[in-house]
Every structure is written in structure tokens, then in C-alpha cells.
A and B are shown apart, each in its own frame.
Chain A
Amino acid sequence: DIQMTQSPSSVSASVGDRVTITCRASQGISWFAWYQQKPGKAPNLLIYDASSLQSGVPSRFSGSGSGTDFTLTISSLQTEDFATYYCQQANSFPLTFGGGTKVEIK
């Protein structure tokens, strides 16, 4: 199975800050995504193929990386971005997620 390790597990930031979250796969992968989840809600696909923005997602979100190391960047944090973010490998079954990164208000 491909293990996904996210860091940090939580981050405190202020509105307007630049926030970076990383995810590492236990082996090289080609298919990778980021999701946002707000409390009590289902996850929402933000980025697929490591760097492609899902329709309707604000351009302040961006993704980069390849192989085993991937990054999600929020260029200027907005109030509505306080949430938990998960990475996912979409290479092979079993499909696996990272443990999540909670972005909290400083």
C-alpha cells in the first residue's frame, strides 16, 4: 500500500498569510490530489494531477510537486479557508489519504 504523510498536522495562521502544506508518498506516484474539508461537511476536491485546479476553486490555491513530494499553497489565506486539508494518492488501490492538516486561526 502507498502511505501518504502530511505535515504539519496543524498550522495557525492569520488572514492574508501564505500557507504551505506538504505531503509525501511512500513511493513515486503520478496521480495526486488535495481536498478541503470544513467541519460537518463532506470533503471538496481542490486540486488534481498535483497542480490542476478543480473548477470553481479560487486561484489563491495552487499545487506543485511530483514523484513522492507534493505541496499545497494558499497564497493569501481567507476566512473561508480555515479548514482541514487532505492529500490523496490516486495511483492504485487501496486509495489512501494523508492524515490531514488543520489550518486554524492565529
Chain B
Amino acid sequence: EVQLVESGGGLVKPGGSLRLSCAASGFTFSSYSINWVRQAPGKGLEWVSSISSSGSYIYYADLVKGRFTISRDNAKNSLYLQMNSLRAEDTAVYYCARHRTGTYYFDYWGQGTLVTVSS
């Protein structure tokens, strides 16, 4: 069974940093592109970042470019999101989501981890 489990969320002050993790199981992690998608409270879905299977290709939404860094460790079946210079508007549930093979569709999602940026 494919599983994606996020962790690392919590309360952080504006300007602070946080590192999210996503542990994958049930599939060959090193063969799939993985993403971070977020959802602010009561709002819609917003794609944040994507990393290819080998880590060679990385993409960011403009709103987080220069502040967030996506990375992966295929030996540990893990995805990460380093978030710096956090703002109130980064408050959201952050999901990791797998790309369907050869496409940019999201076929499996984790349960999400809540990041709250507040003083």
C-alpha cells in the first residue's frame, strides 16, 4: 500500500524556519517525482514545489522561491521542505503528493501537516 506520511509542522514566529519531512513507503520512491502542495485554512489547493525522481529537476511556486528548498533522500525514502523567512500567509496544511508516472497529476497524497506562522 502506498503511504506518504508528513511530519515537522507546528507553530513558528514570522521570519522563523521549519523543516517538513515526508516518509514514503509501499512503492519505489526513487522512481517518482514528489511534490509539496499546501492549503490555507478554509482555502483552496496551492502547489508549492516539485522534485524529480533523481532530484535533478526542481520547481517552485513564485510565492516561495528563494525562501523554501525542496530536497529528497532516496536511500531513506524521504522528502523534505526547508522553509525559511516564514510569513503569516504561509500558514497552511502542507501535503506531500506523488506524481502519477509520466504526468503532473497527483495520484497519492499524505494526510498533511499543519504549519502555523504567528507571533
Contacts and interface: CB of A to CB of B under 8 A. Distances in A.
A88 B37 CA distance: 12
A33 B99 CA distance: 12
Nearest to B63: A94
10 contacts: A31-B105, A41-B111, A43-B109, A44-B109, A45-B106, A45-B107, A90-B103, A93-B59, A94-B59, A100-B44
Nearest to A89: B104
A97 B44 contact: yes
Q: Which 7 A-B pairs have the closest CB atoms?
A: A42-B109, A90-B104, A95-B47, A97-B45, A93-B59, A100-B44, A48-B105
Given A99-B44, A100-B44, A94 B62 contact: yes
A48 B107 CA distance: 9
Interface of A: 31, 33, 35, 37, 41-45, 48, 54, 86, 88, 90-91, 93-100
Contacts of B109: 42-44
Given A42-B95, A99-B44, A54 B104 contact: no
B50 interface: yes
Interface of B: 35, 44-47, 50, 59, 61-62, 95, 97, 100, 103-107, 109-112
Nearest to B6: A42
Contacts of A37: 45
Given A35-B106, A96-B47, 11 more contacts: A37-B45, A43-B109, A44-B109, A45-B105, A48-B103, A88-B106, A90-B104, A90-B105, A97-B44, A97-B47, A100-B45
A100 B110 CA distance: 20
B50 A48 contact: no
A42 B45 CA distance: 10
B105 A88 contact: yes
Contact of B105 (A33, A86, A94): A33
